[in-house]
Amino acid sequence: MSNALNGFFDAWSETDPAGQLILIAKAVAKNARYADPRTDGVEGVEDIAAYVAQFAQMAPGATAEVIASETRDGVTRATVRFAMPGGMEQLGQYFAETDAAGLLTRIVGFKGTGGE
């Protein structure tokens, strides 16, 4: 699953919305659901891509990178580093599930890594 998660978060660093959509479509299932502290949740490739595009617009030049992940019983936990151009960084903890084809079906993110 790390390939799908890496591809998904690569889209967060992409500045072109069309490029983001391509990366997301390769990583998530058509009916995938995404939620994090800034949204109650979005569903489907296009809506997820639109949400990610908002991040790129609000934080131009920011990057997102999976820095650690592990899978247990069909669920992957990943730590993601969001880095802003001015040097500020924030970590997030994500939990994800995939379908039989390895596409992400559910992604749930939390601010920090749980120890704060």
CATH number at residue 27: 3.10.450.50
What per-residue confidence (pLDDT) applies to 86? 87
Indicate the pTM of the whole model.
0.91
Nearest one of 75, 110, 105, 88 to 8, comparing CA atoms: 105
Structural domain boundaries, residue 65:
2-110
User: How far, in Å, CA of 78 to CA of 32, rounded?
Assistant: 17
Q: What is the token pair recorded at 16?
A: 């072109």
Residue 84 belongs to a domain? yes
Residue segments in the chain with a per-residue pLDDT below the cut of 50:
1
Residue 116 belongs to a domain? no
Residue 115 belongs to a domain? no
Q: What is the token pair recorded at 101?
A: 């084809």
Residue 99 belongs to a domain? yes
Whether residue 27 contacts residue 4, with contact meaning beta carbons closer than 8 Å, is answered with: yes
What's the number of domains the chain is made of? 1
Whether residue 109 contacts residue 94, with contact meaning beta carbons closer than 8 Å, is answered with: yes
